[in-house]
Amino acid sequence: MNPRTPKSAPAMASPTRPDNYVLVVFGATGDLAKRKLLPGLFRLAAGGLLPKQYRIIGSAPRQFSLSDSDFKKHAKDAVEEFGGITPTPEAWQNFEAALSFASADPDDTAPLLAAVDLAEKEIGSKPRRLFHLAVPPAAFRSMVELLGASKLNVGSRIIIEKPFGTDLASAVALNKTVHSVFDESQVFRIDHFLGKESVDNILALRFANQLFEPVWNRDHISHVQIDVPETLSIEGRANFYDATGAFRDMVVTHLFQVLGVIAMEPPSKLTAEALRNEEVKVFDALVSINPKHVVRGQYEGYLQEDGVAPNSTTETMVAVEAKIDNWRWSGVPFYLRSGKSLGANRQVVTLGFRQPCLKMFAIDRESKGSGSGGEIVIDFGDPGSITSNFLAKEPGPVMRLGRASMVFEYQNSFNAANELEGYEHLILEAMLGDQSLFTRADGIERLWEVSAPLIENPPPVEPYARGTWGPDSINRLIAPHAWHLPET
């Protein structure tokens, strides 16, 4: 994909555009809006995927309030820096005309109400409303209550960012608050991983290809890895990160969601209800996390980061063994790893196949668990790829086996210009009212429930050097298998 080219409508797009909309972005002056939401909305507009008539209202508390002209400049700077495109004059003028700003505080909703009312009058014909809470998690409750008190919730939809709660009790309480204002059908709990083309393609790989689905089970697969290392440190986010840690930040929110896609049973149809029912069944079958099967690491120098408590035991890296107690996956361990200041930026699912029962070939015992039985490797980092690793005969007179691969790459296939980034895809789906790729209330509560033993009794953190793959104990956790990353 040429990152300088505006995206066009995807080949699998809905045959109709969303209804006319007023979109309100709470936290519009924050980092998420700058890096993802404003550029994403512009790219949707440039690709012709936003409604025919729409208005985008940026909002923030009074102390961060902007004039309309300042917000338009802020949005243009964000698009130019993070959108991967240079807006053409015509495209930007059309988008800019839809932008405005209004402050919003629990004790003063008048500016927001006036802005929404004006936007709806400009569009006419009772447009839909979508509110995106791009605010710190501590503000979720107050913003939801603000929408309820102002009656803006009626007939509206709401996108709520992660993390949704910090444990079971907080998730239940937040769901209770949300449901006091919004029906579950109006709520879109967002995880941008689920908006990735390459994650969505897992469903196609499994269920549209007879080659794969028959072997996607405990009889053929020995273990599964979901590996999302990051090279970045906490990057000045100590206030958030030191109170959160890698498990809450990445595993509950992102990696468990990918596990749900990997492990689900075939849905009866590709609808939100059918897909989310199967995902929640996976979560119901998850065995509570055993702290003895978890490695928590902390990169060297973390305690010297600005804002980090000098005696902090927050993990900056975590590796977890998860188990699913159902007919398809019983006995197959799922290894989940993520963290900061690790050896690479990757987003990889590896399905390791069992060794053949009849070993007519000599296989290097040292390679056991490293792919000698075959692997499917799904790289769901943008733009993504699918690799099948297997053994093949090397050329020559002797029967000698060597590693071989077959690779599918998104960037070399189909029309890359049709690809939507995660946030773009999910914002579009929320406007269309399709909850397929969003987390349901009972699903997120179940994930916090199975996480409770680890949260309540975490193992001590172990130090690891920056740029490595974590403490040495991660290799003992996964034995007799081996991590696919680093690739060998």
The residues that are catalytic are: 254
Helix (H, G, I), strand (E, B) or coil at 186: helix
Cβ atoms < 10 Å from Cβ of 177: 16
Do residues 60 and 33 lie in contact, with contact meaning Cβ atoms separated by under 8 Å? no
Q: How far apart are CA 233 and CA 222, in angstroms?
A: 33
The CA radius of gyration of the chain, in Å to the nearest whole number, is 24
The closest alpha carbon to 485, from 254, 255, 225, belongs to: 225
Q: How far apart are CA 230 and CA 228, in angstroms?
A: 7
Q: How far apart are CA 368 and CA 366, in angstroms?
A: 6
Do residues 470 and 342 lie in contact, with contact meaning Cβ atoms separated by under 8 Å? yes
The helix or strand, by DSSP H or E, that contains position 279, with its residue range, turns out to be helix 272-285
Rounded to the nearest 10 degrees, the angle between the axes of helix 272-285 and helix 256-263 is: 110
Q: Longest Cα pair distance anywhere in the chain, in angstroms?
A: 83
The closest alpha carbon to 57, from 137, 114, 139, 125, belongs to: 114
Helix (H, G, I), strand (E, B) or coil at 184: helix
